[in-house]
Structure 1
Amino acid sequence: MLVAPKPWGPRQFAATAGETQPERVAAEMVRYALGGFGDSLSRADPLLPVAEEAMRILEQGALNLQGGGEGSAEAVGMLMLAMSTLLYRSGKRQDAIEKLKATQQVAPSAPFRVAAWESLMGLQMEAGQEILSSMSPNDSVDMSSKDDDSNSPDQEHLKFRVNAIKGLIALLNGETDSAQLFVNGCRDFAGGKKHTENATLSYGEYLHCVGDFSMATQVYERVLEAMSVEDMSRNLLVAGNMVPEEGLYRKALEVLKAPAISSEGTSKQMEWRDIISLARGEYAELLLIQSNRKAEGERMKEWAQDAWRNRRLTLAQALEFTEPSKPTVVVDTRIGRVV
């Protein structure tokens, strides 16, 4: 049974994060809405009263803080990112995408534009949408600002986040060489700092895919260390499936809820298609060696091959467990794709 928390009141604001009063207020609203409400959401029932109440809190906060002086634009941007996360957790991915697009248009500074773009790309990748590696400037993210120093350490970390996403897109498109161009130089920034946990993870996946297991292990360990010691509730400039504590393991528990093999058209329409195809392909391999279930294995293998869409390697290659020099399959459960 879900119990609605007490109404939001002035005493529940705690100035614990942010640089200005509006940012501190927004940060507490985000933690209250996504922490108190968000953890209770069920994707099977996106219209739960708790979700609606959480959205009202965020929307009212954005309305109240708009045009309120120093830090108000940043506060509103923070709340809009949180709204997109809440919409995503409620199963409204397209609404979350539209909210991120709106955030990009009104974002006050480069960190907010990067966060919105990073999350937008993540949701589009999760949806299986076609994204070109050689994106035009209009499809990318504007990191320019009259108040930003393009050579500052913060700007370099933002560039790392952008390049890591571009590299991940290239991997999904089967363009390993292009991915290398984007991740060159990433090693210096893969420390899990300044909201770069997801970028670091993408860099680790690139290393994993090309067979550099030693370096990939080091990078993965950095992410785990950063997430174990850092208060992730303060990592507010991320959204959707790119929220560090969201999307890494939860989706993996859902992937086996696959449609029946006899269902028509589902292999092309279903979510988490890559992962389900891989799982069914592995299961088919086991059935094929059993004489009394060989026919079933053939049907399952055919289904998996038909559903498989990875451009970097075939399903047969993904199912091979061979020497490190061979292509490696990496499952990214943030976006529900095989890279």
Structure 2
Amino acid sequence: MRVTIKDLAKYCGVSPGTVDRALNNRPGIKVKTKKNILEAARLLNYRPDLTARSLVKGRTMTLGIVLFDLYNRSFAQLLNAVELKARELGYHLYIALTDKDSENEKECLEYLVNHKVDGIILFTVNQGKEFEEYLHSFSTPIITIFNFLSDHWEYVGIQERKSMRDAADFIIKRGYKKFIYICPPLKYLGKSNIYTQEERLKGFLEGLSMNGIVEPPLIINHNNYLEQLKELVFNKAEKTAIVCSCDLYALEVMNYLKDKGLKVPEEVGLMGYDNIDVLKYVNPKLTTVEYPVESIGFKAVESLVHKIEHGHFLTEKSKTLDYKIVVGESI
């Protein structure tokens, strides 16, 4: 049988209100009394009734997060940051993974709403007016990250286009003349919300144009990008740089180049994007753009909880955080 607050009160010879103050660390209770109550709770294996608590507070003290998957290390870093900040603020986290499928995403959202989460952090593949109306029907606070929906939704990310424009400028200033751009998610262009990848490509092309590069880059937009690289001949004199839209692709390309006996950066330059934590184990050190995933996770949780508890988000619409180019040895 579940031990209740009334049972603890009777056991300790105090009022239920005193027990409630002790369990919830509220003022108005003597230190010795609080210690005795907490010890009794441990001995009697007391567990709080979360359903009853949620009815009193009007909240379940849970958040939901919708992500593609956890294959990309940056997503795992983001999830760790979100869970840490949520727990710090007194919330537990439901995790839903969509595998980049628009219908799976809707099922994930339904699942979270049906479990009465207090708010949702959404990395969406959906887009458009109909989808936004669908989200509004939930009456659940939602904050979007990475893939932008519209100005009607709170958003936390970075200036994707500017970051890749700066990356292109950085590479060109080091003498590179020919470019290969690897981004498999571009195959979903026009089919799904790939805002981050679209913006990065636009920024990269703008960066080339602003620096007078007239030869268009080779854009590889499918999963067999290593197979396509096999068809290419790299000439050291041509100063070719391979730019990848995430570090995961860049690491696979680096391994491929090493297997082919091509030196980085002497024969081929290489740049990634994200600055995932495992790069510290990579040689040569990868030049990349630091995507502040932990800061994005912290900011999203803080703003969402503020909305839940105070009625408005902490962020302004389309809150963008800082990024930076991490200078390594591969460019």
What is the TM-score with the length of structure 2 in the denominator? 0.23
Larger radius of gyration between Structure 1 and Structure 2: 2
Of Structure 1 and Structure 2, which has the larger fraction of its residues in strand? 2
